[in-house]
């Protein structure tokens, strides 16, 4: 079969492919944004009247509410702000989560400042990259007007994993249209009762590295379809002390490995739930 396989691998990839893919993604994104703006206004208008009761009834409901700009601020514990930043080189759509109504104002401020700092830093880096991209484009014969069409787009958004009496767990993520490799992820795991951030030691005990390592290894051995790197299979391999993690709806720790950390990049960020 090798000869057939080679012929298949040799299929010439046309230059237009990459451009076409990027254009298609961009066009769909624009349509999506247009649709979202419309529905938001309709939903905001419809909901304003009905909605005065407290929001902690159901997470799904609270999530829906938080998506509507005007109402967002009423939702307890986690709200958000949305805005668009635009420069000559970059358009960024930012949705930042904000913690609210925690017991301790100082802790609340600290977390919100951390998030804001992260977002600012991300946007600054994206801007820098976009400037380089624009310069490269102009230097290779592109025009100012042409660049307007292919401006770098960046996005900052978040996803919530747990919202309970004990834990508020969410992730802030960002990426831009220059390359998927620049995606960034930051996890926030708040102990809302005691106004501090959860760490793995509190959640899994003194020997948390051993606990995680055992469980991850056991689960990896069942994933027969994944080829893990050789060094990961060695007996002295351990989970990093500073591994990313979140807390899921069942209150369990889920560790998240970086892309390429355990296996080939196309598998993305591999996650393992740690059951204690």
Q: Which residue, chain included where needed, has tokens 């254009």?
A: 23
Residues 183-202 that bind other proteins (CB under 8 A): 183
Considering the rule CB under 8 A, would residue 70 count as an interface residue with other proteins? no
Binding of other proteins at residue 25 (CB under 8 A)? Answer: yes
Q: Residue 180 Cβ, how far from other proteins at the closest point, in Å?
A: 4
Tell me if 37 contacts other proteins by CB under 8 A. Answer: no
Interaction between residue 222 and other proteins (CB under 8 A): no
204/216 with CB nearer other proteins = 216
Determine which residue in the list 87, 173, 252, 258 makes contact with other proteins, applying CB under 8 A. 173
In terms of CB distance, is 1 or 50 closer to other proteins? 1
Q: Is residue 41 within 8 Å of residue 48, measured between CB atoms?
A: no
Residues contacting residue 33 through CB under 8 Å, at least 6 positions apart:
93
Can residue 38 be called a binding residue for other proteins (CB under 8 A)? no
Integer-rounded Cα Rg, in Å, for the chain is: 22
Phi, psi of 227 (to 5 degrees): -90, 105
Shortest distance, position 201 Cβ to other proteins, whole Å: 28
Position 18 contacts other proteins (CB under 8 A):
yes
- Kindly write out the interface string for residues 111-140 of this chain, putting x where it contacts other proteins by CB under 8 A and - elsewhere: ------------------------------
Footprint on this chain of other proteins (rule: CB under 8 A): 1, 3-5, 7-9, 11-14, 16-18, 20-22, 24-25, 28, 63, 66-67, 80, 95, 155, 157-160, 173, 175, 180, 183, 225, 265-266, 268
């Amino acid at each position: 079969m090798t000869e057939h396989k080679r012929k298949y691998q040799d299929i010439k990839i046309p230059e237009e492919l990459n451009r076409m893919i990027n254009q298609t993604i961009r066009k769909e994104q624009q349509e999506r944004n247009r649709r979202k703006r419309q529905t938001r206004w309709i939903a905001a208008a419809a909901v304003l009247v009905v909605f005065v009761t407290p929001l902690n009834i159901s997470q799904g409901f609270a999530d829906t509410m938080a998506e509507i700009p005007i109402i967002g601020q009423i939702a307890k514990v986690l709200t958000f702000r949305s805005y668009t930043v635009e420069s000559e080189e970059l358009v960024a759509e930012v949705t930042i989560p904000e913690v609210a109504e925690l017991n301790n104002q100082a802790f609340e401020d600290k977390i919100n400042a951390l998030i804001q700092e992260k977002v600012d830093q991300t946007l600054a880096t994206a801007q820098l990259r976009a400037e380089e991209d624009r310069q490269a484009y102009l230097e290779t014969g592109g025009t100012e007007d042409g660049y307007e069409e292919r401006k770098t787009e960046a996005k900052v958004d978040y996803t919530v994993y747990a919202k309970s009496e004990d834990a508020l767990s969410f992730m802030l993520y960002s990426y831009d249209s220059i390359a998927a490799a620049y995606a960034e992820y930051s996890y926030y795991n708040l102990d809302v009762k005691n106004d501090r951030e959860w760490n793995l030691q509190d959640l899994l005990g003194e020997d948390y590295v051993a606990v995680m390592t055992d469980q991850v290894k056991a689960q990896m051995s069942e994933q027969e379809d994944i080829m893990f790197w050789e060094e990961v299979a060695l007996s002295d391999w351990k989970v990093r002390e500073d591994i990313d993690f979140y807390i899921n709806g069942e209150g369990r720790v889920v560790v998240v490995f970086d892309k390429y950390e355990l296996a080939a990049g196309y598998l993305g960020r591999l996650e393992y739930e740690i059951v204690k």
